[in-house]
Amino acid sequence: MEHVFPSGRPALDFAGTLRVRRGPSPREMLRSPESLSSWFSECRIVESDIACRPLDLRRAVALREAIYHLVVARITGARYDQEALGVVNDAARQPPPVPQLTEDGRRVEATVQQALSYVARDAIAVLSGPEVQLLKECANPDCTQIFIDHSRGARREWCRMDPCGNKVKAAAYRARKRASGESGIAANVSS
């Protein structure tokens, strides 16, 4: 698999396709029309590849950024950006993918616009649903994945323990060891 889906919600995972968003070198996961097509199939919006063009990729990235900005606004208590609202609502107005019954079972095929509509509708469901108060952004400074915190007491800090939680905990442990080692050295020098 080329993509990861840690949140379990298509809209939040789509917003997470720009990794290390605030870092010096963000990692773009939607690098080509083909990577967009694989995201749709790996997310299980459709069962087969969708023929995506460069224009489709630009629209998808615009939708991703709009979703991200709306979610961050909701998390921080800021007002929604009207342009971002328009992008999400316009995408949601398109018809969604339509499942079909075949001899082999269920099959879903879609155009790029239908797949983006699916993602936009999921964003609307998340941002207007009962779990909106549980939205969080990963506490790992190298990660900007958004997730819904279903933990007891809503105390979860990381999108996933592996790798984000482990990285932060290991860094904190090393910092404590360095600090205690330095203070032990300073105590020995002053004796």
Domains of the chain in sequence order: 10-159 (1.10.3300.10)
pLDDT digit string, tens, across residues 63-110: 999 999 999 999 999 999 999 999 999 999 999 999 999 999 989 989
Q: Residue 9: which residues within 8 A CB-CB, separation 6 or more?
A: 122, 126, 148
For 1, the token pair is 């698999």
Is 0.85 topped by the overall pTM? Answer: no
How far, in Å, CA of 111 to CA of 121, rounded?
A: 15
pLDDT digit string, tens, across residues 18-52: 988 887 888 999 999 999 999 999 999 998 889 99
23-47 as b/e, with b when 16 or more CB fall inside 10 Å? eeeeeebbeebebbbbbbbebebbe
> Among residues 76, 62, 61, which one has the least CA distance to residue 135?
76
